[in-house]
Amino acid sequence: MLLRVEGALNKVFGNDLNPFYQLGALGFYLFWVVTVSGVYIYAFYDTGTGDSFDSVERMTREQWYLGGVMRSMHRYASDALVLVMVLHLLREFILGRYRGARWFAWVTGVVLIWMLLAIGINGYWMVWDKLAQYSAVTIIEWFDWLPIFSMPMASYFAYTDGLDNRFFTLMSFFHVTIPLLTLFMFWIHIMRISYPVVNPKRGLMWGMLLAMLVLALVKPALSQGPADLGIEPGSVGIDWFYLFISPLLDVWSAGQVWALVFGVTLLLGVLPWLPARFKQIPVAEVSLENCNGCRRCVSDCPYEAVVMRPRSDGLPFMEQAVVVPDRCVSCGICAGACPSSTPFRSDAGYVSGIEMPSLPMAGLRAAMTGDLAKLQGDARVMVFGCDNAADIAKLRSAGVAVLSLPCTAMLPPSFIEYALHEHRVDGVLITGCRGNDCYHRMGGQWIAQRLDRQREPRLRGRVERERINQFWASSADFEALSVELESFRVGLRGLASGQTETGKVDK
């Protein structure tokens, strides 16, 4: 279902601008929109029981064209941030991108949920209108349930003169410090990934900003009348993205809502380790005698799981690669980057500088050559694919051999050359996750750059480009992949019969 929706969005936006592929980056972007608009609003905000409402109201009415728009942008970007955050969480969960070494980003993301909600609730109180009054009283009553306060804090909200200006000074302080802590938490959230995407593509940024601006003008954010602690509002227009806990407290007791909050947090927190049957293949291992410290594996690892350390074995190189097992997701991209993975090596001692113990390069070469030897007929094709994308095993036929890898970027480009030149296949089809949606983040990008000779290890210039096809297909795109393969084979037959048709290189 999700893949179908994303497929439709790919048609509308293209893979580059598909918002679902940039939910994390959109979160960062919306946070900055909230920050910039918030700084502007803050310049006009006064702290005080009457001043807070009046200052916000004055700004909204008297300079609706800027202050009012900024206030609306502040609200709608905050709401969009929650929506994007929920979609981001659901997507990573549905696609299984939270297990193994990815637990760190997942767990820190769970913490961010509550931090963002706290900022939003706190922000609503600063307006000090009827909605703020309702939210403040219910949330404070909820906190009073915890056995940590000797005096119920809600009693300060029982009297019309119970609050003084310092409350709003405190709220302002929180509304600056919690976002700063949240920004710090954002940094921690992406700490264990390389090349984090924190800015969405420009087209998407403009699209979001423009749509937000339209909403701000069509439905400006307004206050709901000044708060009066002597009068219960009774009915309020709720921002359901942030303030949903307050109505919930009418249905459930404070204890039940706390149990829900702790239960959901705990469940989300332990999710990366559930169910226990999830097993990751063994992590990458470095073979020092085959490692020359070239750093390509460090450069290509999407999870900062390979680091360089001073040489320890006496060989005449400055550094050696070292795998950090806790961060390795066993994608094999490092092995695909290693220059010693080339299959043009003798059988004796064919070990790469960095290998997947359960899928060594010698084993992959043997599996590939075994398959290629069985191929019959014309337009013989070797298909390299990814375990997390379309199932290429179903493509196997008399004229088609397949080899599925944990990530397509585990494939050293020299394997393509090896298949074409040493085994005389007519063509090589590379497939994997959809463009910009690699299960292992960077795999699709790295392999494309390697084949375009923009990234090491590069595909050598002597390889006939028209015999290579890249087609990116998720598990929902198998039919399209089958059609593409057949079309590719037709093209290869044309090449064989001397026609000039060229193969497609990128989709």
Please identify, using beta-carbon distances, which residue of 160 and 177 lies nearer to another protein: 160
CA gap 474, 390 in Å, rounded: 5
In the complex, what is the shortest distance from the CB of residue 130 to another protein, in angstroms, rounded to a whole number? Answer: 11
CB of 75 or CB of 327, closer to another protein: 75
Burial 225-245 (b: 16+ CB within 10 A, else e): ebbebeeebeebeebebbbeb
- Phi and psi at residue 293, to the nearest 5°: 70, 35
Helix, strand, or coil (residue 138): helix
Cα angle 326, 332, 333; round to 5: 105
Which is nearer to another protein, 208 or 485 (by Cβ)? 208
Q: How far is the CB of 377 from another protein (least distance, A)?
A: 36
Residue ranges in 355-433 assigned as alpha helix (H): 361-373, 413-417
Closer to another protein at the Cβ: 159 or 278? Answer: 159
CB of 141 or CB of 387, closer to another protein: 141
> Minimal distance in Å, beta carbon 137 to another protein?
8
Handedness of CA 238, 242, 245, 251 (dihedral sign): positive
Q: How far is the CB of 191 from another protein (least distance, A)?
A: 29
Q: 504 CB contacts (<8 Å, ≥6 apart)? A: 469, 488, 491
Minimum CB separation of residue 136 from another protein in Å reads: 14
Shortest distance, position 480 Cβ to another protein, whole Å: 15
Amino acid, res. 141: E
Which residues of this chain interact with another protein, rule CB under 8 A?
A: 9, 11-14, 19, 75-76, 79-80, 83, 134, 141, 144, 150-152, 154-155, 158-160, 207-208, 210-212, 214-215, 218-219, 221, 229-241, 246-247, 250
Q: Which is nearer to another protein, 54 or 144 (CB)?
A: 144
Minimum distance from residue 277 beta carbon to another protein (Å): 37
What is the token pair recorded at 146? Answer: 């915890």
Q: Give residue 450's identity as a one-letter amino acid code.
A: R
Cα dihedral across residues 389, 25, 207, 90: positive or negative = positive
Rounded to the nearest 10 degrees, how much is the dihedral formed by the CA atoms of 340, 344, 350, 352? 20
Nearer CB in complex with another protein: 232/506: 232
> What's the CA dihedral at 73, 79, 82, 85 to 10 degrees?
-50
